[in-house]
Copies of this chain bind each other. A is one copy, B any other.
Amino acid sequence: MRTSYHDIKAIVLTRIRDNTLPPGANLPGEIDLAKEFGCARATVNRAMRELVDEGILERKRKAGTKVKSSPTRRALFSIPIVREEITNTGQKYRYVLIANDVISSPGWLRARLNVKKDQPILHLRCMHYAGSDPYQFEDRWINLAAVPRAADFDFEDMGPNEWLVREVPFTEGELVFSATNASNEVANFLDTSDGTAIFTVERTTWLDKLGVTYARLYFARDHKMSTRL
């Protein structure tokens, strides 16, 4: 068996761990590494590229490849559909539409979604349950100028996040995580008391600079979101 790019990655990582390659150290060029490992340059190249993707190495033409001095590890989050998030844990998913209104866009939302004054916005509020427990309260605004079809869908049986993921492609998105004290309304929906610390996600998506949707997701108390590095 030849040296594969997996092997090369493992070897380089070992050398970084045992300090043979300390942070900031330069690696040999691809041609030298290929000779050392007895493989083609393309194989070395693939291993190096993946280590760059993983935030371990830095490369510059002419300057060469080196170990990142502050190894900025990157965490990868997948943004699942709420229904799948719940059913994947073996619990039963229940969805309830609370309110469904067409409004004219308020100023703060116009700025965020980059829409013109008085354009119609669909405002939805819904609850997602895991078994009998509240899981997430979703406060969502959809730009009807960007997604006119949303006006014809009733969202009684399917949540807007799931519908949007299926129906509307997007080019860019932003996620913001924070903690908020539950308002009286949010506390009621999430079956907790006023002021409880609530893990909150704000999500905005755009399709070619046109704002598509903005949502605030309030999770049940003590909700944790985790990821491996």
A residues neighboring B (CB under 8 Å): 13, 16-17, 19, 22-23, 53, 55-56, 67, 70-81, 84, 165-166, 169-170, 172-181, 195-200, 205, 207-208, 222-229
Tell me the complex Cα distance, A2–B53, Å.
25
5 tightest CB-CB pairs across the interface, nearest first?
Answer: A179-B179, A173-B229, A197-B197, A179-B197, A179-B199
Tell me the complex Cα distance, A93–B227, Å.
28
**CB-based contact A176/B19 at 8 Å:** no
Give every chain B residue within 8 A of A77 (Cβ-Cβ). Answer: 74-77, 227
5 new A-B contacts at CB < 8 Å, known A67-B169, A75-B76, A175-B226:
A17-B170, A71-B170, A179-B179, A179-B199, A195-B195
Least CB separation from A18: chain B residue: B169
**CB-based contact A76/B76 at 8 Å:** yes
Tell me the complex Cα distance, A90–B8, Å.
39
Give every chain B residue within 8 A of A23 (Cβ-Cβ). Answer: 166, 169
Tell me the complex Cα distance, A67–B81, Å.
17
Give every chain B residue within 8 A of A199 (Cβ-Cβ). Answer: 177-179
Give every chain B residue within 8 A of A75 (Cβ-Cβ). Answer: 76-79, 175
24 contacts between A and B (CB under 8 A): A13-B170, A17-B207, A53-B53, A70-B166, A71-B169, A72-B79, A72-B80, A73-B79, A74-B78, A75-B79, A77-B77, A79-B229, A173-B229, A174-B228, A174-B229, A176-B224, A177-B177, A177-B224, A177-B226, A178-B179, A179-B179, A179-B199, A181-B195, A195-B197
Tell me the complex Cα distance, A209–B194, Å.
41
Query: In this complex, which of A17, A176, A177 has the most chain B Cβ atoms within 10 angstroms of its Cβ?
Result: A177
**CB-based contact A178/B222 at 8 Å:** yes
Tell me the complex Cα distance, A227–B137, Å.
21
A102 to chain B, nearest CB (A): 25
Give every chain B residue within 8 A of A177 (Cβ-Cβ). Answer: 177, 199, 224-226
**CB-based contact B78/A227 at 8 Å:** no
**CB-based contact B229/A176 at 8 Å:** no
Give every chain B residue within 8 A of A19 (Cβ-Cβ). Answer: 169
**CB-based contact B229/A175 at 8 Å:** yes
Query: In this complex, which of A19, A77, A179 has the most chain B Cβ atoms within 10 angstroms of its Cβ?
Result: A179
